Amino acid sequence: TLTCLDLSIGTMRAAGIEHFFPVFASNPQLTNFNVSSNQLGDSGVQKLATILQSNSTLTTLGLSDSRFGDPAIQHLAQALQL
């Protein structure tokens, strides 16, 4: 069973993050997801926030140096109900 997925220090962009949505669906025990130092931008982080709305097990999310701004932060906050 997959509990940790580290995809940090890559070149993933917004479109690439969608390919990992099935990972969340098929691994409900995933607790750590790290996409730090990628090029997700606002739209990639917003897409990630969408899938996080239905995830209740993730405890650690790495997004440092992923180049996103206030719009993405607002989506994340809503998804995580902060």
Instruction: Note down pLDDT in tens along the chain; length 82 residues.
Output: 899 999 999 899 999 999 988 988 888 899 999 999 999 999 999 999 998 888 889 999 999 998 899 999 999 999 888 5
What integer pLDDT is reported at residue 82 of this predicted model? 58
pLDDT at 67: 86
Q: Which of 79, 77, 74, 20 is nearest to 42 (CA)?
A: 74
Residue 33 Cα to chain centre, angstroms: 7
Q: In this structure, which amino acid lies at residue 61?
A: L
Start-end of H helices in the chain? 14-17, 21-26, 41-52, 70-80
Strand partners, 62: 34
What is residue 53's predicted lDDT score, i.e. its pLDDT? 86
